[in-house]
Amino acid sequence: MKNEENLAYFLNEAKTIKPRDLEKKLRVAFLASSTINGFEETMRVKCFQKGIECITYVGDYNQYNQEILNQDSELYKFKPDITFLILDTRHILGEHFFSWHAVPHDKKLKFVEIKINEIKKLCDTFEENSESKLIMTSLQIPSYSSYGISEQREIQGIKEMVSELNNKLFDHCRRFDTNHKIFIYDFNEFISKFGEKNIFNYKQFFSGDIKISTEYIPKFVNELMGYVYAILGITKKCIVLDLDNTLWGGVIGEDGFDNIKLGDNPIGHSFVEFQKRLLALNQRGIILAINSKNNFDDAMEVIQKHPNMILKEDNFACVKINWDNKVGNLQEIAKELNISLDSMVFFDDDPLNQEYVRESLPSVLVVDLPKDSSQYAQIITEMKEFDILKITEEDTKRGPMYLGQKKRKELESKVGDFDEFLKQMNIVVNIQKANSFSIPRISQLTLKTNQFNLTTKRYQEEEIGKFSSSKNKIVECIQVSDKFGDNGITGTYIVEKENAEEWIIDTFLLSCRIMGRGVEEIMMNQIVEKAKLSGIKKIKGEFIPTKKNKPAENFYEKLGFKKENEFWVFNTDNTLKKPGHIKVERND
Amino acid sequence: MTEKLYQIISKVFNVDSSKINDETSPENLEEWDSFNFYVLLDEIENEFDIKLDLDETLEIKKIGDIKKIFTKHGVKAE
């Protein structure tokens, strides 16, 4: 095993982490029914490597019930952002783990009911007392049944019972769908991936009640990291792909259309499988792009005409097939798609290209792709960087939206004059108050938008939910469409009704796909119009600079706001310019 | 064998291998705690391709004891 993957490395590395003022901070609590030494150390190191300052709290051994049920517990005082509750089947079942066969049927039913109610009570109490997300492990289905091979013939064998407990738990947690606070990590996924014989080490269990062996702790924590990325909104948005020996076997320029390997033979199968995984990610909202050194026509012929090509031309939001250098192409792709380099993942089989991009663009995640293509599908399915807590409608529509974007660019370069281009776009902005459908998306926008974001305040769904029901706040979002399609909900603002004279802009952001077409002016117009109707004299806004929000830096000034101390102020006696090429609708 | 063993110990406990000898124990090496001892045993099993019995692991009070177990398991001296 590589050094950087084993627990000794994480334990020692954790000691060297000094508090540093990192932009991203996260408070993580661990609760468990067994020994979890090593978990928090590993997570702190993994977070630190991703530029996240992780502060942890570990509940006392097997005290999770008291920690959750007692409202004054240290857990609640710690105020975690994420709480991991690691439960295990041996603990929950007690003696029944060994002798389930001896329990009378009516007692079995009663036992399941009692246990599920205990766990539900933990969830509900936690939800009432904490703002934190709770990620709970499901129960491991035992690989051994005391019924032996007759397990499946029993009315309720131990495996069926544990599955039933899990299903009831999944069901219960779906009820928290409105605020997305409680999630289940399916522990059986971990077991089926790595195997019970590896994960459960009897010696370590007898010696120290260690239920995930020291060798597998880093792998388990890696599974949990998916939640960290998702909650912080730092998941990756775009996969940039090389073509030769990455999407198909062989080199199109040398081997030719008929001889590249795609389907029909073992090597070809591995590329088809890889493409199928990519397609699924694309359908779920991950953008795909191509960065390949090739003759454009040769490579496009494969994409358009090869019978075994899974990914089609329309799956790629941006295509760079040329003889330019790959780093320049990556920068171009980022620019054209209006996404930042740190939201991109680069797949290229050539180690030299990998190294070159790693050196030149350290914020791009370069996948350590081996020569052996049979590993590609596995590598991509094991990546945690694409996980999001809840797939929103916008995510599933993102592919077509970026395709629309590609067509917009084509129109723009055809028309030439930008104002004329805007007129021809037929942009419609629909403005609506936050509601239960848009709240998850609004939160996602605050978490993910970096460039056109005046204050970069990050809000979880429950916070947006609270704001939207508060009398002192306005939470609205905008949906933008044009002749090339619907861009979905792509902008939002939160206004604080400070007093009878003044409103303060708490949040004002627009997805970078939309910026620069007058939509931001329309949004500000809405705020001003509302303010005038309420007799408000002044609208105040702050610009909080970050590394990435330079595109929004001069926004207030451009609109005629005047600088007063740290605020930019607009006097509502003045009129705000309003772009004429946009049609505005309100959906109230 | 000694050199490889000390390398593993030095890596797991994050101490210089010059600090390690047969008499090294939790009493005289503060980096040795009850938890990273499990990590050490796991590394030793993997690196030397042996399986220690539970009672053997419980007998280890100092590094010299590990060497005794090695002799029993036929791990070559060099």
Are B39 and A206 within 8 A, CB to CB? Answer: no
Q: What average pLDDT does range A305-325 have in this prediction?
A: 94
pLDDT reported for residue A387: 84
Q: B2-15+23-72 maps to which CATH number?
A: 1.10.1200.10
pLDDT reported for residue A175: 76
Cα–Cα distance, A454 to A524 (Å, whole number): 12
Give the model confidence (pLDDT) of A282-302 as tens digits.
998 999 999 999 999 999 999
Domain map (residue ranges) of chain A: 3-232, 238-381, 416-586
Examine the pLDDT at A375 and tell me if it is beyond 70: yes
Q: A3-232: which CATH architecture?
A: 3-Layer(aba) Sandwich (3.40)
Please give, rounded to a whole number of angstroms, the shortest distance from the CA of B20 to a CA of chain A.
Answer: 17
Partner residue opposite A37 with nearest CB, options B35, B40, B57:
B35
Q: What average pLDDT does range A204-227 have in this prediction?
A: 94
∠ CA B51-B55-B59, rounded to 5°: 105
Query: How far from each other are the two terminal CA atoms of chain A, in whole angstroms?
Result: 58
Q: Which residues of A touch B42 (CB under 8 A)?
A: 201, 204, 213-215
Domain map (residue ranges) of chain B: 2-15+23-72
Instruction: Tell me if chain A has a CB within 8 Å of the CB of B3.
Output: no
Q: Which residues of A touch B46 (CB under 8 A)?
A: 1, 215
For A70, residues 6+ apart whose C-beta sits below 8 A from its C-beta are: none
CATH class of A238-381: alpha beta
Contact A511, A490 (CB under 8 A): yes
Confidence of residue A413 (pLDDT cuts 50, 70, 90): confident
High-pLDDT (> 90) share of chain A, %:
71
Nearest residue on chain B to A8, alpha-carbon basis:
B12
Estimate to the nearest angstrom the gap between the alpha carbon of A347 and the chain centroid.
Answer: 19
High-pLDDT (> 70) share of chain A, %:
98
Instruction: Tell me if chain A has a CB within 8 Å of the CB of B47.
Output: no
Give the model confidence (pLDDT) of B23-46 as tens digits.
999 999 989 988 999 999 999 999
pLDDT reported for residue B77: 60
What number of C-beta contacts closer than 8 Å exist between A and B? 44
Are B38 and A11 within 8 A, CB to CB? Answer: no
Q: What average pLDDT does range B54-76 have in this prediction?
A: 90
Are A3 and B11 within 8 A, CB to CB? Answer: yes
Q: Which residues of A touch B58 (CB under 8 A)?
A: 207
Give the model confidence (pLDDT) of A229-284 as tens digits.
888 888 899 999 999 999 999 999 999 999 999 998 999 999 999 999 999 999 98
Cα–Cα distance, A492 to A479 (Å, whole number): 9
Are A214 and B39 within 8 A, CB to CB? Answer: yes
Please give, rounded to a whole number of angstroms, the shortest distance from the CA of A214 to a CA of chain B.
Answer: 6
Other beta carbons within 10 angstroms of residue A119's beta carbon come to: 19
Q: Which of A11, A61, A216 to probe by mutation at the B interface, max B CB count within 10 Å?
A: A11
Instruction: Tell me if chain B has a CB within 8 Å of the CB of A280.
Output: no
pLDDT reported for residue A2: 45
Examine the pLDDT at A416 and tell me if it is beyond 80: no
Tell me if A3-232 shares its fold with A238-381. Answer: yes
pLDDT reported for residue A177: 62
Between A234 and A4, whose confidence is greater? A234
Q: If you average pLDDT over every residue of chain A, what do you get?
A: 91
Please give, rounded to a whole number of angstroms, the shortest distance from the CA of A35 to a CA of chain B.
Answer: 10
Instruction: Tell me if chain B has a CB within 8 Å of the CB of A204.
Output: yes
Q: What average pLDDT does range A321-337 have in this prediction?
A: 93
Other beta carbons within 10 angstroms of residue A432's beta carbon come to: 16
Nearest residue on chain B to A202, alpha-carbon basis:
B54
Give the model confidence (pLDDT) of A146-166 as tens digits.
888 888 888 789 999 999 999
Examine the pLDDT at A117 and tell me if it is beyond 50: yes
Cα–Cα distance, A362 to A385 (Å, whole number): 16
Give the model confidence (pLDDT) of A532-568 as tens digits.
999 999 999 999 999 889 989 999 999 999 999 889 9
Instruction: Tell me if chain B has a CB within 8 Å of the CB of A11.
Output: yes
CATH topology of domain A416-586: Aminopeptidase (3.40.630)
Instruction: Give the max Cα distance, chain A.
Output: 82
High-pLDDT (> 70) share of chain B, %:
97
Token duo for residue A396: 């599933």
